[in-house]
Structure 1
């Protein structure tokens, strides 16, 4: 009351405060970071360890298992998983939600340090990393030309340093690069002629490539540091290195081998739009603005192109900021459309431009205030925070509408403008505070929801809350003040009958007649409502459920996998066949980035090729991304010699596979057979797409079994034999050579024609310490076998995963059918399965959100009980909630959307929204029944219903119609908010009908019950 009176009496102060808010909000908006989604905090840490030239079995036994055992005791760990493959180990730790990950990482590092000393000598130092899904490249830039070596040099020397100087760039990685190397190609005959071994050459190179401090000498009054310089200064120094033979003579390295300044053998190939290329992936700093960094890179591209040598060109392959910009723009457009719709609805009802301005000002003030609060809470400006503004747009004017309508009522009774503003606003301020508070408290239980649902939707909840608080303050201060100054003519009756008023009169009369009927048929109304609610539950099986809605980002990933063990050249041939098929899609594919055989972010083996494709903008193509995926799957199925899968890369891709079946048991071989059976079984389920098993086909191997006793006869150890075999077929790094600030390997190796075939292995000789050459076949036996490509473990037990995409059906239905198939399979004793992926996350999130919904409903009741200082009236109002079920289920069914996390958030929001109309209605009935008015119950209900119909229609229509653009998923990125908007639109619409008819009936029933209990006569 005092706040309202002060704002009316001191309008200049209110105006100054508003101007200050606008100024602060504008500054905050300019400094907000822009991103697609809020930061997702996944409590995951990774320990990565290299083990050069080791098979998966060795990696598992010597690296993965010791690391697993050491980290398993760290506090807060939920699951430990490991992946062992040729040459590397990856141990992933998933912590319980709420764990202090910074402290946990320190504990993990301490545990790894304790076991580091027990790891093999050839193992690299374990790296402990924090897994962050946001730390993905924001851009890929290609550099194309004819010479890969020259491309690499230009990229390393010119482009990488230039991009890393740009504001906000953290690092730039070159993919598909050629790495410089000094190769010393040994001549076997010369080595035997001079009696020199590879170890002797390695020792000579290291002795000749050293610099060290030799002390200090005086020169006058100064001390001179003595430093012996002996590092290689040129490749000729390497050639001229002296090697001592067994006879004591010395020879130069180039007399024993060919020394070549060249590049390492490429482990992969990168191509962009069919041309050989190196690709630069650009990472931003953690606190940098994604869009701003991308803009900086794009702005600097012209300068990069000017300095390129002739024959080279560069272009942006994929820019993730494009989709962010389009998504943000579409949400802003939806906000503007919603604002215009709300303004037109207000103008239609109020028939006064001034009155509409009075209420409409609540929207920009609330939005600008929200930007300030978003900035100070550290949130980013993303699709969900802006979506929260779009969703709350119609609700921002609800309080102002109710206040203004009541001011109108007093004005029509003959009060002055000032008196009407003060009395009308003061009388309903408690009611609007209560109704706004009920909307706000539903978000409090979200604090206790964990995981992805909380990370994504807490910012949305905060945004809606900020906007509603700002709009409430505007409603009880700004609206009364402006009403007392601007509504002089707006409240005057011109005598003309406004067409919309005539329409509202008919609606009001019709509502009054229906209200009389339901009050006279109370049992029929109550049981009819129950029948409709129960009947709507039949829609549940037809709706289904999913985790998160996917969005059309226009990005595809095509994975090509040839037979295990295939060469890179063969995989390239298959990729050429794929390229021919892709030629038919030139009208929809804008850019194609191909990586074959590793060296990049996606492919890891010579039998794998991965395409990243950027489609043209949605406005320039008639097909959706899912249509293109389906068409490509059909066309590429005819390419022989490879397994090819196509999938869309969207907002849900980073949340894991939709379906992941984890098989656990004591033996890897048994698990592999089970995984194949499960893959076959679930592939028959309708909706399962690209079901694959992590049980890859075994890698062809040649096992070399050393005869220890035979080796000992020649004075050889197993380690010596293994070392010479590795040198023959993989080479050996002997030293480091530095030139112009760059460091490169000096590698000993044999000519390619001596290390390529089985015959080269069989014809190989082993040199003993005495200098004798022993045929390898006298020391070992050779056996061909199939070795595993990757070995996985979960909580220190062998594991294999079967994963699947989904298409055409909702996740819950598909998961249910898969569960039935798996239950009918007979697993061997000691083996089990577990369904994870998005299906598990969905079940967990739904359980948490269900608890949050129950607490939200309780908090809504508690707030109303405090407001009314009565336990009965809030209970009456709560009867508007069950009818919401009808609208929610009907809305999802009509639009064909499954129940998802956004839809569930919408249900929670509805718990606080739908009671607002009931609060205003019941509160006004009570006002009319007080001594001041003295109306009996029946008259009070009829008058309150017809009197409150207009503001209820206004608030409901502005809230619903402002969300229609989001409900229609107009523009990019709107798919995330569509289920939430649809839920609120239909839920609020249906609930409002029941509020206007059912709540008065329930009010009379409870009033009668109270009268009986307290032995009073009916009013």
Structure 2
């Protein structure tokens, strides 16, 4: 060790060059790192979406969902399979453990699903992993007062979308509300009947002649040439005149006997129409919406900035073009990261000021604090190598690490400085610095290893909590390792360069008075161990009783002022009904104060549920004046529900303590509906929750037709004829046409949609004798209810009742809800489970609790190895329980609940608190090794180590103090005020009691050891004498 220290002192210039290079390079790396609010966490989920146009929920369940579920249910690593079967589509969510290789899991599912055979009309299932970037990073509203929406749609698709797609990191650009031209071929049923044609046969024929066909290479005139049949017509008029063979089935049905074809325009209305597959509205005005999605390796801030640059260039080219930002994910990231950087710098400044006040020497302070920038930039360089990002977790870790990375340097420079002031010190210069640094190496190394070891169990925490806090732990580990290296290289080198050979001894100061007072208190405590220990234990036990008053939550809430609302219309709602519902909701919302912007969209392009084209998505942004978003949501939810429309749901990025979810399982919907209604009513009567939502919707009305098979056989009518008449009007794209330089689709429509139920039975079919018969003559009609959608989980039908918890004590609220549910009468075969945020709390707290237990065992093991015995480490561990006193009291005073962040703070405390005790006991042991008596060894160690212990503790408190003023919006609830309160409060109480309790326990254990050793020695001597 002395050789390393000597090398550093003897090569000052080289160490300076390396240090400066590291700082400059680290700053460069920091500016080049990707910015995020939180680490990118992808849920271990694979989604399977299958579209079956026109199919009922029950048909979707039996023909699509259940075959897929059966196929994938036995896959290895699957935790849960959740499915929803609704009109026209099936969605299946397959959840795995977090440590599963999701690429292999996705490929396996694709392989298994590809082997399934579905009924005709079912589209190929879309298999994709859930992605953190499935939601847009930017949502825009596009307007132009000089253009019609049709022309604006063309501009958006031909110019704006390609420009945005050029931005690095953009994976997809969705244009919502665009209106496109298309050729619509709508068949005339009477004309088709006249020529004995069917819509299906004509469409099939059109598809064959409208398709380009490559026939391969052939040798013609001695040269190889490609043979291709081009089926696409080059003009709209030619399409209308396309000849359709009329002898496809019954040649004799030709009206005039000689013609073998008829023009398409005779059997269909052929027009160029404007159609939209989605609707977008901004502040009540219909227009164009643009959603920008980011790729998995994209940088949100760079993507948003790139889009903004493209917007400026487009506006310069088109003066009347206007973009309105509805959602901008880049600005909150910049603000949050900026705030956290400021808090880190403030924490560093506080720590420096505190050290200066203690050392009262600018040069010593500069030497001590050099570890802060060097350690932090080294951690930045290492994070970059691991492809990690600069986010609230890594920045928060740096803020927390400031107080700890300076510890090693403080201990070393304080010992050097102290020995320079001793009149009896024989060494000087290089030898003194080497000896002083080497003297402290074992204690700083063991304390650093102990702190690092505390974060090793973070790797055992599964799920999103483990994924979130892993970068936090990794950052601190890198910073601590760097600080250890700095303390034995840079610090001694700078001490030799900047400090005098001998420091003059100053007269008695206030610090010496504090030292004398502490000496007297410690001596009294050692003489009155029982009283002192009982008082400290009483404080510890009393703090435990504070827990029920503090409460429990999951992760602190965020303060971003945005609501993402979803609206599901009543089952069977038409497009006009949805449009009116949206207008009514917008009119209400626009009257609310503080609302900045509202964008609604439905149809294609829904990032939450792509298959659910009737779900309306609302982005609601607020001005800065709004203080309580939770209260605002409650008011909006209650008022919108009173409008008597469908079901509303809210996902806000603002203040929220979490949701409680109650799951009701059974075999049928009819079986679980009464129980679900009772649970919903119970939650609605609970004042501690709001925004109660039942996922079990109203039923759809189903019209059942019963076939009279005997009459059908006698008339020669085939079932397919009836199916074609009763089925919804099918649309199908058959090709493309180039109009004005733009390709537009050609789409066939079987017929006009039937809007009156009474018209169904009046539809006519042709008998074998070419007679027309109304369906009412061969069918009987009846109505019944059918589910609007069917949800299943692991084979059981289920529904979910969710509510938002308004009280900060989530655990208590959930416990009260469970009691009310237990009082309900639940029939046999029906099961009710409470989940949601409480389930996450139980799982996460259990894992963190295990991690804390493992951390304590690891710490004890490291200390045993360091001290070569088990008694001294046991005395050191007695510093841990007393950290709870300050932590719990601080949480109570600041009105913070026990959250995941608080638990991580408690894990950190293990390493921080033990450090102070290690420094104290290490000195006492070395004193004993010099032959000093036990009591004198302890008293001298306490007095000598008092200043470095207080310095490091107060410096850590100062570094963390900016977190006490952290608002929710600054931290996304992760690196929260609660974490700061936990560490500061725990460190304060533990430091004060460590200086008293640890020496008491250590002396007691050592005396027991001496007595036991003496007793064994006497027994041994007695046996020899005998």
Q: Secondary structure at the match of 1:972?
A: helix
Deviates more, 1:407-416 or 1:632-641: 632-641
User: 2:367 and 2:35 mapped to 1: Cα distance?
Assistant: 32
Deviates more, 1:401-410 or 1:601-610: 601-610
Query: 2:1023 corresponds to which residue?
Result: none
Query: 1:511 corresponds to which residue?
Result: 518
Equivalences for residues 118-267 of structure 1 within 5 A: 119-145=118-144, 147-213=148-214, 218=219, 220-245=221-246, 246-247=253-254, 249=259, 250-264=261-275, 266=276
Q: Secondary structure at the match of 1:553?
A: coil
Structure 1 pair 214/823, CA: closer, same or farther in 2 (3 Å)?
A: closer
Structure 1 pair 199/943, CA: closer, same or farther in 2 (3 Å)?
A: closer
User: 1:474 and 1:613 mapped to 2: Cα distance?
Assistant: 50
Give the one of 469, 478, 482 matched to 2:494.
482
Structure 1 pair 529/172, CA: closer, same or farther in 2 (3 Å)?
A: same
Query: 1:713 corresponds to which residue?
Result: 714
Shift of 1:108: 1.3
User: 1:199 and 1:564 mapped to 2: Cα distance?
Assistant: 30
Give the one of 563, 571, 575 matched to 1:564.
571
User: 1:322 and 1:689 mapped to 2: Cα distance?
Assistant: 30
Count of aligned positions: 996
Q: Gaps (5+ residues) in structure 1?
A: none
Query: 1:723 corresponds to which residue?
Result: 724
1:600 and 2:609 correspond: no
Give the one of 526, 545, 559 matched to 1:538.
545
Deviates more, 1:831-840 or 1:395-404: 831-840
Query: 1:673 corresponds to which residue?
Result: 674
1:791 and 2:790 correspond: yes
Query: 1:277 corresponds to which residue?
Result: 287
Equivalences for residues 294-693 of structure 1 within 5 A: 294-308=304-318, 310=320, 312-413=321-422, 414=425, 415-488=427-500, 491-492=503-504, 501-502=509-510, 504-586=511-593, 588-596=594-602, 600-601=606-607, 609-616=616-623, 620-621=624-625, 623-633=627-637, 636=640, 639-641=643-645, 644=648, 646-650=650-654, 658-693=659-694
Q: Secondary structure at the match of 1:46?
A: strand
User: 2:698 and 2:541 mapped to 1: Cα distance?
Assistant: 53
User: 1:767 and 1:663 mapped to 2: Cα distance?
Assistant: 50
Shift of 1:262: 1.2
Shift of 1:704: 3.2
User: 1:87 and 1:577 mapped to 2: Cα distance?
Assistant: 27
Shift of 1:49: 0.8
Structure 1 pair 301/848, CA: closer, same or farther in 2 (3 Å)?
A: same
Equivalences for residues 712-751 of structure 1 within 5 A: 712-726=713-727, 729-733=728-732, 735-739=734-738, 742=743, 744-751=745-752
Structure 1 pair 163/274, CA: closer, same or farther in 2 (3 Å)?
A: same
Q: Secondary structure at the match of 1:381?
A: coil
Query: 1:911 corresponds to which residue?
Result: 910
Is 2:176–2:278's contact at 8 Å kept on the other side of the alignment? no
User: 2:612 and 2:83 mapped to 1: Cα distance?
Assistant: 19
Q: Secondary structure at the match of 2:286?
A: strand
Structure 1 pair 431/651, CA: closer, same or farther in 2 (3 Å)?
A: farther
Is 1:708–1:718's contact at 8 Å kept on the other side of the alignment? no
User: 1:5 and 1:188 mapped to 2: Cα distance?
Assistant: 99
Shift of 1:88: 0.5
Deviations 1:475-533 (A, max 9, x none): 1111111111112299345x577xxx42x334333322322221121101112222211
Is 1:176–1:270's contact at 8 Å kept on the other side of the alignment? yes
Deviations 1:662-715 (A, max 9, x none): 221111211122211111122333422212111111123333333333333333
Shift of 1:897: 1.8
Q: Gaps (5+ residues) in structure 2?
A: 247-252, 1018-1026
User: 2:119 and 2:475 mapped to 1: Cα distance?
Assistant: 53
Deviations 1:216-251 (A, max 9, x none): 665554233333323222322221111233315222
Is 2:52–2:121's contact at 8 Å kept on the other side of the alignment? yes
Is 2:924–2:941's contact at 8 Å kept on the other side of the alignment? yes
Aligned CA RMSD, in angstroms, stands at 2.5
Q: Secondary structure at the match of 2:970?
A: coil
Give the one of 975, 978, 981 matched to 1:977.
975
User: 1:82 and 1:567 mapped to 2: Cα distance?
Assistant: 25
Q: Secondary structure at the match of 1:611?
A: strand
User: 1:515 and 1:879 mapped to 2: Cα distance?
Assistant: 16
Is 2:243–2:264's contact at 8 Å kept on the other side of the alignment? yes
Deviates more, 1:889-898 or 1:1001-1010: 889-898
Q: Secondary structure at the match of 2:500?
A: coil
User: 1:25 and 1:771 mapped to 2: Cα distance?
Assistant: 87
Is 1:365–1:470's contact at 8 Å kept on the other side of the alignment? yes
Give the one of 936, 956, 960 matched to 2:953.
956
Structure 1 pair 331/489, CA: closer, same or farther in 2 (3 Å)?
A: farther
Structure 1 pair 599/787, CA: closer, same or farther in 2 (3 Å)?
A: farther
Shift of 1:642: 5.3
Shift of 1:1008: 1.5
User: 2:451 and 2:573 mapped to 1: Cα distance?
Assistant: 61
Deviations 1:929-964 (A, max 9, x none): 332xx4322233222222211111110011112111
Is 2:808–2:897's contact at 8 Å kept on the other side of the alignment? no
Deviates more, 1:769-778 or 1:166-175: 769-778
Q: TM-score, normalised by structure 2?
A: 0.93
Q: Secondary structure at the match of 2:545?
A: helix
Structure 1 pair 341/74, CA: closer, same or farther in 2 (3 Å)?
A: same
Deviates more, 1:556-565 or 1:665-674: 556-565
Is 1:338–1:962's contact at 8 Å kept on the other side of the alignment? yes
Shift of 1:744: 2.0
Deviates more, 1:869-878 or 1:755-764: 755-764
1:937 and 2:934 correspond: yes
Structure 1 pair 1004/215, CA: closer, same or farther in 2 (3 Å)?
A: closer
Shift of 1:56: 0.3
User: 2:503 and 2:769 mapped to 1: Cα distance?
Assistant: 113
Q: Secondary structure at the match of 1:527?
A: helix
User: 2:668 and 2:160 mapped to 1: Cα distance?
Assistant: 50
Is 1:331–1:974's contact at 8 Å kept on the other side of the alignment? no
User: 1:289 and 1:152 mapped to 2: Cα distance?
Assistant: 28
Deviations 1:77-99 (A, max 9, x none): 12112110101111111113422
Deviations 1:540-574 (A, max 9, x none): 11122222111112111334455433334334334
Q: Secondary structure at the match of 1:792?
A: strand
User: 2:308 and 2:733 mapped to 1: Cα distance?
Assistant: 43
Structure 1 pair 768/455, CA: closer, same or farther in 2 (3 Å)?
A: farther
1:921 and 2:916 correspond: no
Query: 1:4 corresponds to which residue?
Result: 5
Structure 1 pair 969/771, CA: closer, same or farther in 2 (3 Å)?
A: farther
Structure 1 pair 751/83, CA: closer, same or farther in 2 (3 Å)?
A: closer
Deviates more, 1:322-331 or 1:597-606: 597-606
Deviates more, 1:820-829 or 1:483-492: 483-492
User: 1:663 and 1:635 mapped to 2: Cα distance?
Assistant: 27
Deviates more, 1:54-63 or 1:895-904: 895-904
Shift of 1:624: 3.8
User: 1:572 and 1:894 mapped to 2: Cα distance?
Assistant: 51
Query: 1:102 corresponds to which residue?
Result: 103
Deviates more, 1:333-342 or 1:743-752: 743-752
